Amino acid sequence: MTSNPRQVAFLALQEFYQHHAYGDVALERILQNYPTEAKDRHLASELVYGILRRKRTLDSLINQLGTKKASSQPLPLRIILQIGLYQLRYLEKIPPFAAVDTSVELAKANGLGKLAPVVNAILRNYIRKSSTQEPLVLPTDRIAHLGVKYSFPDWIVSLFQKQFGGSLTEELLQWFNQTPTIDIRVNILLTTREKLQETLQEEGIETETIPYLPQALRIKSPAGNLAETSLFKSGWFTIQDGSAQLVTHFLNPQPGEIVIDACAAPGGKTTHMAELMGDRGKIIAVEYHPQRLAKIQENVQRLGLTSVEIHQGDSRHLNQWEGMADRVLIDVPCSGLGILHRNPDIRWLRKPQQIQHLTELQGQLLENCSKWVKKGGILVYSTCTLNQAENEAIILRFLQSHPQWQWETKNDELCQISWLLSEKKGRTESMVTILPPLHHLDGFFMAKLRKGD
């Protein structure tokens, strides 16, 4: 048992490298076995998420400062060097001597006593060089230059560069290295945004409203684990980014309607639909993974909702709701290239060859779920990626082969979207891309279609 945050980070990063575990899952697993105080937990989290964000930059430094490439170093040594260099480069509150000494001790504590001098030498080399110059030498090639500077694989940099050009690409890469904000959604069936904001303030949690999102608050002060608060447990709010909230406003479900959420877990958008509908009507929440159904049920019960039916199944093949739904939301599985700040490990775990499989899955979901919509009904297709192959290309291909579908331009008047409209081919009210540096929200895509009578 230890409360050493660097040891916790070391063990979590080992899980990431050895077992391709997601960073948050690995960290939570280690923390369960190694109880830590709040400040130590915070440092462990900062180290794990920060190193996952800055992995390529840190490895480039190891390549340049040591005699062996990072990829050739024994894995435990590589991780310890990343922990030391991350503190030296990105954590101003930690004195350089402390970053060096704790890294040397970490090596000794993990059976690397013979390599402790290597740790000491590389970290002191960084300190020495940084006193007179930038220690990191960047490649001259534009894609590799940005990839090393901001710590992204070349394929993601290249994809953004082709789609958005140089200036916006660099802004995106910078944005995705930020610590993510936390947004919450007030349950308007139980309280108001003003009342929730006031009550949170009484508990020492400062918030601010988010423009154009009538149920949203952004957390401004450190708030600990919001899911452990009495207000969360009693259903006053849900933790959900503003972009995800915007999707449901874009769908604009109405009281008394039949609405289907085709890829529903963990239930954030499902429960938002119920709130907007006054919990009147029928919402069918479909989820493929049996183990994720419980999360939807948990959220529905916590918020006190009665209009939601939960079904386990593969939305590519279900046909029992054909022509039944007033509205259908398909929030498809995607590459997640709009939420790289929230899930920094995606940039390393996601591979370009996976995109084709994803686009096939997305096309199949759209094809089948569109059959559930009644004549005159609405379909919204959404993703949390900025990859046009998963966004515009999917929708345009669907429209070309389904002439009975057209763009829908009517949107929720409470939640105007004119401030972030996509200008693509004039279809501004129907197809929206949320760009994080411009809109200060997660990267999302939404398209809205109506089925012809």
* Residues classed as catalytic: 384
Q: What is the DSSP string of 399-447?
A: HHH-TTEEE-----TTS--GGG---GGG-TTTEEEE-HHHHSS--EEEE
Which candidate, 325, 338, 327, 307, places its Cα nearest to that of 410?
327
Question: In sequence order, which ranges of 110-211 are alpha helices (DSSP H)?
Answer: 116-130, 142-150, 154-175, 193-202
Query: Residue 68 in contact with residue 33, Cβ under 8 Å?
Result: no
Please tell me whether residue 327 adopts helix, strand or coil conformation: strand
C-alpha to C-alpha distance for 329 and 317, rounded to whole angstroms: 16
The single-letter code of the amino acid at 156 is I
Compute φ and ψ for 262, nearest 5 degrees: -75, -25
Q: Which helix (H) or strand (E) holds 331?
A: strand 325-331
CA 96, distance to chain mean position in Å, is: 32
Hey, what are 239's tokens?
Answer: 């933790």
In whole angstroms, give the CA distance from residue 123 to residue 81: 8
DSSP state of 262: S
Q: How far apart are CA 222 and CA 207, in angstroms?
A: 10
> Is the Cβ–Cβ distance between 300 and 308 less than 8 Å?
yes
Sign, CA dihedral 357-359-362-368, equals: negative
Whether the Cβ atoms of residue 372 and residue 324 lie closer than 8 Å to each other: yes
Contact 132, 120 (CB under 8 A): no
Joined tokens for residue 293 = 């159904």
